[in-house]
Amino acid sequence: MSKVSRRAALGAIGVGAVAVAGYQLRGTAESHAFSRPEARTGDNAVVEENKAAGSDAWTMGRDATTTADDKVVQIQGYASKTSVAPGDSLDFHISSHVAQACTVAIYRIGHYGGVGARQLTSRSEVRVEPRAKPEADPTTGLVACDWPVSWTLDIPKSWVSGMFLAVFTSEDGHRSYTPFVVRDTTRRSDVLLVVPFTTYQAYNIWPTDGRIGKNLYRGFTAEGLPGGNPERAFKVSFDRPYAEAGTPAWFDMDISAARWAEQAGYDITYASSVDLHEGRIDPSQYTVIIFPGHDEYWSKKMRDCAEEAVDTGTHLAFFGSNNIYFHIRIESAADGRPGRVVTCYKQDPDPTPGAGGPTERWRTLGKKHRKAEQGLLGVQYNGMIKAPVPLVVRESKHWFWSGTGLRDGDELPDLVAVEADGFDPSMPRPENATQTLLSESPYNDSMGRGRRIQNTSLCEDKSGTLVFVAGTFHWPLALSKAEHLDPQVQRATKNLMDRMLTPRG
C-alpha cells in the first residue's frame, strides 16, 4: 500500500461492505509480494542467551530490601537514554537521602528457564549524594532533574538486544529501578519489539510528594491532594526517575510479552518508541513488529514508521489497547540533548504545533477524522472497564483460533480489562484490506458512557500484510504472567506469529 493512496482513502468513510469474516474494504491498489528469509525461530542469539542461568535477586524484598519512595528519595535514579547500542555507554543519575554507597546491578529481562531475568553485571560502592528535586516549570509543568552522573555503564558488544533493568540498592536496604533497552539495529531480526517509553513518561508523576509531581494527566493541588487537568503538565521529561519503585505504569504488560516471545524462541531484537521517532528503525528489516503493551502516545514520526512498515510488507501486532491515541512531540532537553521531553497539550491550545499538527487526539486531527488511529489499526479505543469481563469469541473457524477448541460465543474469563478497543463504522478503515473481528465482547464503560463492544481485530491487505490488535490490556498478561496465564490466548497468539513469520510469494 502506498502512503499517498492510504492518506487519500482515510477520508472515505463509507466504502466498506459487510463480508463473512468481518468488514471487506474495497480498494484498487496492486497486490505486492514481499520476500522475507525463512524465520529463525529456535536457532538464534536470543535462544542461546536464554540458556544462561537466570536470577530473581533483583526483586523487591530480596535481601531484606524495601521500596524507595518519592517523598524521601532513599535511592532513585534515571538513565541518560531510553535505548543504547552495544559498544556505547549509558549514564545513570542517582540520588539518595543521605550520602552513601549503593550498588547498581544490571538485569536482562527474558525467560531463562522461567526465572525471568539474568544479571549481567553489577557495580558496588557507587557513591551517591542527596540531590535537589527540581521545581515544576510554571508554564508547562515540566519537571526535569539535572543530577550529575553517578555511574557510567559501557555496554559490551556481546550483550544481546533486550529489555533491561538497572537495579539501585542502597546500603540502608532501599531499592528502586529504571528500565532501558539495548537495541541492535545493525542486524536484521524476524521480530522487533518496541517498548513504549513515551507512554511510560506520559504517566510518570514523579515525585508523588503532594507538591511537585506532574504527568500529562494530573498534578497536586495547593492542599497537596491529587488534582486533574488544571494541575497537569504539558511537557514531561525523561530526566527524572519513574515514580516510587521505578517500574513504569503497566510495565508488566511489556515484560510478560517479552518473556513469552523469548520462551517461544523467536528471533527478536528490541527498540524504544523514541528509536522509532528518531529514525533508527528501518521497518523493512523485520518481518513482524510487536507493540507489546499500552502504547498510547505517538509522534508523527513514530506513526510514519508504522505506516511505512505496512507499506513495505512488515506485519504489525499490537498486544494491548488504546494505541496511537494522543499525538505528541518529542523534543530536546534545555541543554539540547535530543529525545528527552514528551509534549502533549491535549484539549488545551498548543502554542507551537509543528508539521504534524497540534498535540491532541489523533482522531481529531485533520478533516473528517482523517488521522484517526482506526485508519491504521482497524479498531480504536472506545472505553474503560471497571472490572474485567470475558472476551467473547467470534469467527472461531478462522485460522487465528485454530487449535484453541473455542466456538463462537465462548468466553475467555476476565480477558477484557482496564481499557478496550472496538470497531467504529464512522471512522476511517485500513484501505485495501479485509478485516476480521475476532471477538465481540460487551461491557459497560466505567466513565458513564454506556454499553460498549470490545473487538479484537485482524486486517489483511492484498499483499498479505497483517495488522493485529488485541484490544484489551490483559492479552499480553495472559501470555506469561502466572495469575493471568491463558493457554488459549497463548495458542491464538502463536497462530498469529506462525502466520506472520511464514514467507509469502
Query: The domain spanning residue 288 has which CATH number?
Result: 3.40.50
Which of 484 and 26 is assigned the larger pLDDT? 484
pLDDT at 354: 87
Q: Is residue 152 part of a domain?
A: no
* Number of domains forming the structure of the chain: 1
Choose among 53, 45, 118, 112: nearest CA to 263: 112
Confidence of residue 213 (pLDDT cuts 50, 70, 90): very high
Q: Above 90 in pLDDT, residue 456?
A: yes
Q: How many CB atoms lie within 10 A of CB 184?
A: 20
What does the pLDDT look like over 353-408, one tens digit per residue?
A: 988 999 999 999 988 899 999 999 999 999 999 999 999 999 999 999 999 999 99
Phi-psi region of 63 (alpha: psi -120 to 50; beta: other; left: phi over 0): left
Average pLDDT on 306-324 reads: 98
Confidence of residue 33 (pLDDT cuts 50, 70, 90): low
Q: Is residue 14 part of a domain?
A: yes
Average pLDDT on 299-310 reads: 98
Q: Is residue 243 part of a domain?
A: no
The values of phi and psi at residue 119, to 5°, are: -80, 125
How far is it, in rounded angstroms, from Cα 105 to Cα 121? Answer: 6
Q: How many CB atoms lie within 10 A of CB 372?
A: 24
pLDDT at 271: 98
pLDDT at 7: 29
Q: Is residue 406 part of a domain?
A: yes
Q: Is residue 487 part of a domain?
A: yes
What does the pLDDT look like over 148-174, one tens digit per residue?
A: 999 999 999 999 999 999 999 999 999
Q: Above 60 in pLDDT, residue 4?
A: no
Confidence of residue 284 (pLDDT cuts 50, 70, 90): very high
Over 195-227, what HEC string results?
ECHHHHHHHCCCCCCCCCCCCCCCCECCCCCEC
Q: Is residue 247 part of a domain?
A: no
What does the pLDDT look like over 103-157, one tens digit per residue?
A: 999 999 999 999 999 999 999 999 999 999 999 999 999 999 999 999 999 999 9
How far is it, in rounded angstroms, from Cα 295 to Cα 278? Answer: 17
Q: Is residue 451 part of a domain?
A: yes
Choose among 469, 460, 373, 459: nearest CA to 420: 469
What domain range includes position 415? 3-30+282-320+369-501
pLDDT at 26: 28
Q: For the chain, what's the residue count?
A: 505
pLDDT at 367: 86
Q: Above 90 in pLDDT, residue 309?
A: yes
Q: Amino acid identity, residue 357?
A: G
Q: Is residue 80 part of a domain?
A: no
How far is it, in rounded angstroms, from Cα 323 to Cα 199? Answer: 10
